[in-house]
Structures are given as C-alpha cells and as structure tokens.
Amino acid sequence: MDYSIALFFTRPEIILSLVGMVLTLMAAWMGKSSARLCAIITVAALVGAGAYVLEFLTNPAYELGADVFGGTFRMDAFANFTKLLIYIAAIACVIVAGKFFNAKDEYRPEYPLLILFSAIGMSIMVSAVDLMTLYLGVELTSLSSYVLASFARSDDRSAEAGLKYFVLGALASGILLFGMSLTYGFAGTTSYLGIRAAFADGLSTGALFGVVFILAGLAFKIAAVPFHMWTPDVYEGAPTPVTTFFASAPKVAAVAVLMRMALEGFGGQLEAWRQIFIFAALASIVVGALGAIGQANLKRLLAYSSINNVGFILIGLVAGTVAGASAMLVYLVIYVAMTLGSFVALLMLRNDAGEQLEGVSDISGLSRTQPVLAFCLASMMFSLAGIPPLFGFWGKFVVFQAAVQADLIVLAAIGIAASVIGAFYYIKIVKVMYFDEAAGVATAKSDTAHWAILGFTTVFVLPFGYLLTPWLGEWAERAASALFLTI
C-alpha cells in the first residue's frame, strides 16, 4: 500500500484529528478560559479541512476518486459533497453556541472539541466502504453526541436527554453491529462491493435478517419511523446549540451512510429493501406531521419537523436511481439551511434576563416587537412547508420528480398529499407571530454572529436560492453518480 497516497486523500481527517489532540491538551491545561480560543481554532480547522474537501470535489483530476487503506476508505465526489455540508453545519453550530452557554456560565472548551471529534467520526462514516470502518465512524460520532446531549450540567432536562440518547443509541449500535455480524457471516466479507457480489444471486433468510438489522440501526440514526421515538425528548432536553447540531450535521452523515450502504452494498437487492423504505418514508411523513400539530414547545415541533423531512428524503432512496440519489443530496443541502436558520432564530428568542424562550406562546405577535426576526422565522416555516417560490419547494419537487421517473407515481402522489398535513403546523407558527396578541417577552438583542447566519440562510431559502440550482444540481449529480461508478 502506498501510504503517501492514503495520507494525501485523508488530509481533512488528519487535520481535524491533529487539531483535536492539541485542543484536548489545551482544554486540560487552561480550563474554561480556553473555551473561546478552542472555538476559534475549531472553526479554523473545519474551514481548512473544508478547503481540501472542496478541492477534491471541484478538481477534475479527482473526479474518479480513490480507495485507500486496503479498500476500507473511499475519497469520491459523494463523500466530499457530504463532508462539505457536515463541516459547514458544524462551523455554524460552534459559532452560535458561545452566547447561549455564556449566559449560564457553562461554556467550556469541551463543546467545540466534541463537535470536532464528532465531525471526524462523520467524515469516516461517509467515506467508509467497509463495515469495520463504518462502525468506527459511527461510534466516534455517537460517543461525542452522548456527551453533547448532557452538556448543560445544571439542567435536569439535559441530563435526561443524554441518558435517553445513550441508552437508545447503544441499542441502535447493538442492532447495527448484530446486522453487520450476520452480513459478514453470510457474505464472507465486510467490504461493500464484496457484499454486493456475494448477494448478487439473491438473499438467503439469514442474509436478509442481516440486511434488515443494518438498515434498522441506520434508520435510528436518521430518526425515521418507527425508530424516531428518541428525537422529540432529546431535541427538547439538549441545549439548543446541541439540538441545532443534532438536527443538521449528524443527520447528513447518517443519510449519506444509508445511501452508500443501500445503493452500493445492497444495491443489487433493491426490491428486498425497497418496501421497507416505502413504509418508513410514508410513516415518517405522516407521523412527523401529525406529531407536530399539538406541540407547545418549539424544539419538539422542530424535532417532528425533522422526522417529517426524513420521510421526504427517503422517497429519493426508494427510487434507487442516480436521479433519486441526486435529489436526496439537493434536499439535504436545503434542509440543512432551513434547519440552521430555524434553530438560530430560536436561539435569538430571549427575554431581558437572557433566558431562552422555547414556547409557541412566547412568539405571539413577534412581528410587532421584532419584525425582522419574525420575517426570517416565517420564511423558514414557509420553506419547510414546501410552499413555492421558497427554496424548500425545490427540494420536495426534485425528490417527487425522481420518484415519478422511477415509476413510483403512487408513492409520489401519497407523499404530496401527506405534505399538506405538515403545512398546517408551519403556517400555524406564522399565524401566531403575525396575528396573535403580542406576548412581548422576546425582547433581548442578538449578536452579529446570529444575525449573519440567520440572514444568510434566509436569503438562501428565499427565491435567491434558485440562482444556485445549476451548480448545486451539477455537484449533486456528480456526487450521486459516484455511488454507481463501481457497479
């Protein structure tokens, strides 16, 4: 093996790992006083790693990608596309956290450090083309996430969220590992391409159980129905910056892993798992929409919204085509922007005492007290509902288009009809902000960083985002095609 080539193609992971080790020592020696410095260095490291990923993604010399470390790690357009999205989400989550934790005197250097190690794990996950490498990435990400969920030591809800996430996450990891063991036993290999070749002539009963267990473990990571039960409690209990992170970067990584596993590893047995994801997609859309209707807490409402959006994303996977995979990636980009914008707007809802406001009643009449913030949040809600001409409509459109092209017309029709249910609670939020009596509690001023991120995401989801569709579509198609190059 030429280790120089392997190290060259894993430069983003190497940069993040080296910076992570340095920051671990800095946090141990300097304590809480190093929190801001650690955050700045973390953002710089993620920007540097993202620059390498962007070079790999856009330079034609790297278009075909490469397998390194004995065929266990792949640098290709698909991995680079999703890594870039993960790093952008991680950077935003580090930037917006300072003010939230400083208000409670709980900002410690471990926060950006855990985000950094989680980003490393997610990088490994999306580049993994071997079950062993995948599990290492999943566990590195999961261990960081468990600590992040319970990061607010003074908040009992945070401790409860961390415990729930740990117990259910460990269960999902066990299911995933059991599925890997069965798959290895029947395929005789842990390589995705080896598994595909071994199952080319069909699945035995035991192999089918292995496939189902792996997909079930990954379905937990993306919070698809019926493995969604942890999401509302964890999203509500975790500190809001952590919830922002959970709803964006790990969601991208988990969906990417599911895509690579289903379309590469199990791609030869499309009909064996297609019915599973048809159910998961429709159930996630309906349960996410119905579950959000009665929510009085904005974080729980956005948790059900994430479940609802996962359902739409899975429709692209059911198509099992390049167009379907490309549509999923386009949807993920738009989803991350909408999610970051929604949660940053939520972070900006504070009273004069600096306390975080999370109730739907707290934003009553917000348009009269903070009109710009209300407009930005309303834009996010309309975009999440998929109302044209906002950019969220485009994400749903390309997914349904891919389903129709794959002759899944009934699935697309049901998905479109079910999306109407979700529009109800998004529009309800807008109604509360613009037509209800002003509560007048969200009066605190926000800092420049929050406004910058909220402003960028708002502009992105407004019709201006359509200007990026030629580049976004081209990159997404190139990334999606990488999943089918080795077939």
Task: Tell me the per-residue pLDDT of 406-432, one tens digit each, with 9 for 90 and over.
Answer: 888 988 898 888 888 888 888 888 898
Q: What are phi and psi of 359, to 5 degrees?
A: -80, 150
Indicate whether 314 belongs to any domain: yes
Indicate whether 487 belongs to any domain: no
Q: Which residue has the higher pLDDT, 378 or 485?
A: 378
Q: What angle do CA 345, 385, 358 make, to 5 degrees?
A: 30
Q: Report the distance separating Cα 156 and Cα 146, nearest Å.
A: 15
- Band of the pLDDT at 119, cuts 50, 70, 90? very high
Note the pLDDT of residue 338. 93
Q: How many domains does the chain have?
A: 1
Over the stretch 432-456, which tens digit does the pLDDT of each residue have?
Answer: 888 878 777 777 677 888 899 999 9
Indicate whether 71 belongs to any domain: yes
**pLDDT value at 487 more than 60:** no
Q: Report the distance separating Cα 36 and Cα 62, nearest Å.
A: 36
Quick check: 118 and 141 in contact, CB under 8 A?
yes
Over the stretch 243-298, which tens digit does the pLDDT of each residue have?
Answer: 999 999 999 999 999 999 888 888 777 787 888 889 999 999 999 888 888 888 88
Indicate whether 407 belongs to any domain: yes
54 token code pair: 């962007």
Q: Which of 256, 262, 275 is nearest to 332 (CA)?
A: 256
Note the pLDDT of residue 463. 81
Indicate whether 305 belongs to any domain: yes
- Band of the pLDDT at 72, cuts 50, 70, 90? confident
What is the residue range of 82's domain? Answer: 3-482
Angle between helices 240-247 and 131-149 (to 10 degrees): 160
Q: In terms of C-beta density within 10 A (0-12 exposed, 13-18 middle, 19 or more buried), how is residue 11 classed? A: middle
Note the pLDDT of residue 237. 85
296 DSSP assignment: -
Q: In terms of C-beta density within 10 A (0-12 exposed, 13-18 middle, 19 or more buried), how is residue 4 classed? A: exposed
Q: Report the distance separating Cα 327 and Cα 262, nearest Å.
A: 16
Which segment of 2-11, 17-26, 448-457 scores lowest on mean pLDDT?
2-11
Q: Report the distance separating Cα 256 and Cα 268, nearest Å.
A: 18
- Measure CA 226 to chain center: 18
Note the pLDDT of residue 2. 67
Q: Report the distance separating Cα 343 and Cα 59, nearest Å.
A: 34
Indicate whether 194 belongs to any domain: yes
